[in-house]
Structure 1
Amino acid sequence: MMRQPDHLSPETWLAQFLDSPEARRGGVVKRQIRDVERIAGRDKFLHEVERRGFQVIENGRHFVVFCNSTPLRRVQGPRDLQIPWPSRLQAAWNAVSKPR
């Protein structure tokens, strides 16, 4: 396991992460769960995310933080397509890239 640098306190790490340019723009940032737990701790991290009005999703090995309060919606593509999506992309590409 990697050792945490002496100059990197949990507060400093959280501030750098949650005050990053992407976070300030209301974007999306992610971090590995093991790093969050090692550096700041899960509870402290989640408290700080919620304090700022951000939303966080845990997926696999990552925390994905949506740095805004816009409602999240899970979306899925149409299920009744007869042509798989990659084939549709290829067909569209072929249609627009033919020499004239």
Structure 2
Amino acid sequence: MAVFWITFRIEGQEGASDYNQKYVALQAVWHDITPMYWAEPTSFVIFEAETTIDILASKIRNAINPKTDVVLIRENGKNNCRIVGQWEDDAIFSLMPGLKK
């Protein structure tokens, strides 16, 4: 079993209902794969799951709008991380060696 954390920024192009719909869809990703998670902050979640980071990234990509939103995923204790969606600052690749798109 692996422990993952994600941090994210989701946009609400169509207003609050669009944001809420994507937020609920993103929550469903970890709710569907594990009962063990911590999600007190609004844009950060840590959870354990029996999945791979690539499968997790795919599920997250389907829950957001990758043209406007961004999610950073890391497998805790490993140099295994992914970025999904749209980002502007490539400094993240220097700060997180091993980060893949």
TM-score w.r.t. structure 1 length?
Answer: 0.29
TM-score w.r.t. structure 2 length?
Answer: 0.29
Write 1 or 2 for the structure with the bigger share of strand: 2
Over alpha carbons, which structure has the higher Rg?
Answer: 1
